[in-house]
Amino acid sequence: MDEVRVVLFGVGAMGRRIAKFLIEKEGVEIVGAIDTSKDKIGRDLGEVVGVKKKLGVEISNDADAVFSKAEADVMLHTTTSFFRQVYPQIAKALEHGVNVVSTCEELSYPYTVDETLARKIDGLARRYRVTVLGTGVNPGFVMDTLPIALTGACQKVRAIRVTRSLDAANRRVPFQKKVGAGLSLQDLEQKLKKREITGHVGLEQSMNLIASALGWELEDVKVAPVEPVIAERRVPSKVEGGVTVEAGQVAGLKQSGWATKKGRRVITLDMQMYMGAEEYELYKIEGIPPINMKNTPCMQGDLSTVAVIVNSIPKVINAPPGLVTMKDLPIPSATPEDMRKYIKE
Amino acid sequence: MDEVRVVLFGVGAMGRRIAKFLIEKEGVEIVGAIDTSKDKIGRDLGEVVGVKKKLGVEISNDADAVFSKAEADVMLHTTTSFFRQVYPQIAKALEHGVNVVSTCEELSYPYTVDETLARKIDGLARRYRVTVLGTGVNPGFVMDTLPIALTGACQKVRAIRVTRSLDAANRRVPFQKKVGAGLSLQDLEQKLKKREITGHVGLEQSMNLIASALGWELEDVKVAPVEPVIAERRVPSKVEGGVTVEAGQVAGLKQSGWATKKGRRVITLDMQMYMGAEEYELYKIEGIPPINMKNTPCMQGDLSTVAVIVNSIPKVINAPPGLVTMKDLPIPSATPEDMRKYIKE
């Protein structure tokens, strides 16, 4: 087959990282780029991405025009976290017969956000014979796909607990700001109230995805409000230009979700993202047999999200039409060779 | 749908464990049992399994008769490790239109054992519109499916190393004997020569399965001869009636496999199974990002093999026809609820 033809919808921090990675890869070509930001429209993608060569792809805010011209196989979509907001963007790709892989957190399990809209996306995808997937490192991998896969070795599963703890001092500066590092508690509370800081989106999706894979009917799926973590000591950034947090300031955030079944807590997801946190993921499955797995350090979010998105391309192209979740696709796997190698005739 | 109808082919240690587990499960029924052992033929499965009630399933050595009567959906097959030996047993099920999940180690990736026979099985399965899978905890999960899934979060993969280390003192007595615990070095060497002890079968399959998922063309796939581990101190069994190993006797075995690509070792699998060994699995992926995951203790082989086999039933029933490997199926997952819940209409 010819090269896999990709349109990017969203050329923000994540879209640019994906573009850079795709430019290096064999068997795949970026044939269109959509963004609504005025400082990007009309510019060459290569310039915006910072690869120091023109790619011949002009960033446009006219999705229809891009799709009409691009003859794309797949759209890689990185705009916002919220399903209702991305719906028209995704519908547009489907109507042009283009598969979709999106970082939209809520799309990783959209049925509990808006079932009608989820059915509509599924219907559109089937009508145009293409496939839609929401994924990423989290939701999409660390707190759902991987624990689901681990239960494959269990006869019984009583409860699942996943903890992801990451040191914001190691992360890019926008991430440090996203978790409120260096703010006063009062300023953080203001920003939370104004939704300028939202914390992690996706715990609800991860819990529902686990339950749907395990056939569990959950009674209650709760995501607790974001909790500030106050620095007990000074923590400098480990990356250039980052935040140095003083004792007493906000170091970052904690967030928990849990779900019950027959009155018992069966899923617990804990996120910790603050300056100076220990880096790990812990998977505890209470079952027969039990499983106790630890990843140190934790998955590097930006690198791994790019990986999960790009590695999903062939699986989404190969999949039957419709809206799918990670549990419906073959096991995740890297695509280190020419992308075309992974696509079925 | 009606209950999932299962025929067991093989009522040895693993077949009996599977039977016990299925008897407890909802939505699944054992409708036939095949075994060639004279002390089992003609007896009721319940009695042989030790559940103290008749199941109304008489163990038979006439596979054709069993399949003609059973109207089975799936055969759970647990006879031997070797593909060529199981071929006629599996072909029989396929010709009766019955899906197959087998613990046959070589069947987990049979193409490198006998490609012609593998194609023949695939052809038969397609002709009768059923699916065949070889799986288990290892091969099938620990040293292939799980590391493959982990690479899904990697942009690049330079090398994969998996170590599985298990304490034979914790395992059932036949397992302790299978790894030579308590033998003199001379006796072990005799038993290895006579192939009364074979060590682990499946490293070659696991390496090829990883490579096929990653699109790697391996140059060389080597499995080193089994190595004895000599006890440095006395190690008593932790299970009743087990072996106590004295210093200087064989404590168990070590086994390694590795594979190269462009002259570089890209896969290394290490197995350690001896009395007194530390229990863990270690997953090291050298890549971008790297992954370093440890499971403590290691997966409990017998419990997890039963789990992987039974959890695969709905995935195999749902899959398109043909010979499949774990990389072709949706991510593994437990089936804690009524088995019928996991089967698509």
Which pLDDT belongs to residue B70?
Answer: 95
- Cβ-in-10-Å burial (0-12, 13-18, 19+) of A225 comes to exposed
Helix (H, G, I), strand (E, B) or coil at B270: strand
| B216/A151 Cβ within 8 A | no
| B293/A292 Cβ within 8 A | no
Residue B332 touches partner A, C-beta closer than 8 Å: yes
Find the mean pLDDT for residues B51-58.
92
CA angle B225, B228, B232 (to 5 degrees): 155
Cα separation, B324 vs A70, whole angstroms: 35
Strand A59-60 and strand A250-261: the pairing is unpaired
CB distance A94 to A133 below 8 Å: no
* Residue B345: pLDDT band with limits 50, 70, 90: confident
* Residue B238: pLDDT band with limits 50, 70, 90: very high
Residue B304 touches partner A, C-beta closer than 8 Å: yes
Contacts of A308 in chain B (CB under 8 A): 152-153
Peptide bond into B336 cis (omega under 30): no
| A300/B295 Cβ within 8 A | no
Q: What is the DSSP string of A246-315?
A: PTTSEEEEEEEEEEEETTEEEEEEEEEEETT---EEEEEEEEES-EEEEESS---HHHHHHHHHHHHHHH
Helix (H, G, I), strand (E, B) or coil at A88: helix
Rg of chain B over Cα atoms, rounded to whole angstroms, equals: 20
Which pLDDT belongs to residue B189?
Answer: 95
Cα separation, B131 vs B242, whole angstroms: 39
Residues 138-157, chain A, touching B (beta carbon < 8 A)? 141-142, 145-146, 148-157
Which residues of chain B does CATH 3.30.360 include?
145-298
CB distance A148 to A216 below 8 Å: no
Cα separation, A241 vs B305, whole angstroms: 51
B339 CB-near residues (< 8 Å, 6+ apart): B3, B4, B25, B26, B27, B28, B313, B314
CA angle B138, B318, A139 (to 5 degrees): 70
Count the neighbouring beta carbons within 10 Å of the beta carbon of residue A292: 15
Question: Which of A333, A341, A344 is best to mutate for the B interface (most B CBs within 10 A)?
Answer: A333
Segment (H or E) for A94: helix A83-95
Find the mean pLDDT for residues A263-274.
97
Cα separation, B226 vs B206, whole angstroms: 17
Longest dimension (CA), chain B: 59
> To the nearest whole number, what is the mean pLDDT of chain B?
96
Kindly provide the ipTM of the predicted complex, given to two decimals.
0.97
Question: Rounded to 10 degrees, what is the CA torsion of A204, A206, A211, A217?
Answer: 0
| B287/A334 Cβ within 8 A | yes
Which residues of chain A does CATH 3.40.50.720 include?
4-136+303-342
| A307/B155 Cβ within 8 A | yes
CATH class of the domain comprising A145-298:
alpha beta
Residue A344 touches partner B, C-beta closer than 8 Å: no
CA separation (Å) from B120 to A227, A323, B109?
Answer: 59, 35, 14
Find the mean pLDDT for residues B192-220.
95
Contacts of A309 in chain B (CB under 8 A): none
Helix (H, G, I), strand (E, B) or coil at A1: coil
pLDDT in tens, B28-44: 999 999 999 999 999 99
A24 CB-near residues (< 8 Å, 6+ apart): none
Q: Is the pLDDT of residue A345 over 80?
A: no
Q: Is the pLDDT of residue B272 over 80?
A: yes
pLDDT in tens, A142-157: 999 999 999 999 999 9
Residues facing A268 on adjacent strands? A161, A258
Q: Is the pLDDT of residue B1 over 80?
A: no
pLDDT in tens, B276-313: 999 999 999 999 999 999 999 999 888 999 999 999 99
Among A322, A313, A316, smallest CA distance to A129 is for A322
* Residue A52: pLDDT band with limits 50, 70, 90: confident
* Residue A119: pLDDT band with limits 50, 70, 90: very high
Q: Chain A: nearest CA to B32, how far in angstroms? A: 22
* Residue B27: pLDDT band with limits 50, 70, 90: very high
Q: Is the pLDDT of residue B82 over 80?
A: yes
Question: Which of B298, B315, B331 is best to mutate for the A interface (most A CBs within 10 A)?
Answer: B331
- Helix then strand then coil, in percent of chain A rounded to 5, is 35, 25, 40
High-pLDDT (> 70) share of chain A, %: 100
CB distance A130 to A164 below 8 Å: no
Domain covering A4-136+303-342, topology = Rossmann fold (3.40.50)
Find the mean pLDDT for residues A67-86.
97
Count the neighbouring beta carbons within 10 Å of the beta carbon of residue B138: 32
Find the mean pLDDT for residues A34-55.
95
Question: What is the token pair recorded at A72?
Answer: 């794309």
pLDDT in tens, A287-321: 999 999 999 999 988 899 999 999 999 999 999 99
| B289/A293 Cβ within 8 A | no
Among B114, B145, B162, smallest CA distance to B329 is for B145
Residues 182-221, chain A, touching B (beta carbon < 8 A)? 213-216
Q: Is the pLDDT of residue B326 over 80?
A: yes
pLDDT in tens, B120-148: 999 999 999 999 999 999 999 999 999 99
CB distance A313 to B134 below 8 Å: no
Write the residue in A148, A157, A334 that is nearest to B152 by C-beta. Answer: A334
Find the mean pLDDT for residues A255-263.
97
CA angle A308, B257, B185 (to 5 degrees): 145
* One-letter amino acid of B33: A
* pTM greater than 0.80: yes
Residue A320 touches partner B, C-beta closer than 8 Å: no
> To the nearest whole number, what is the mean pLDDT of chain A?
96
Question: What is the token pair recorded at A64?
Answer: 């229809």
Which pLDDT belongs to residue A203?
Answer: 97
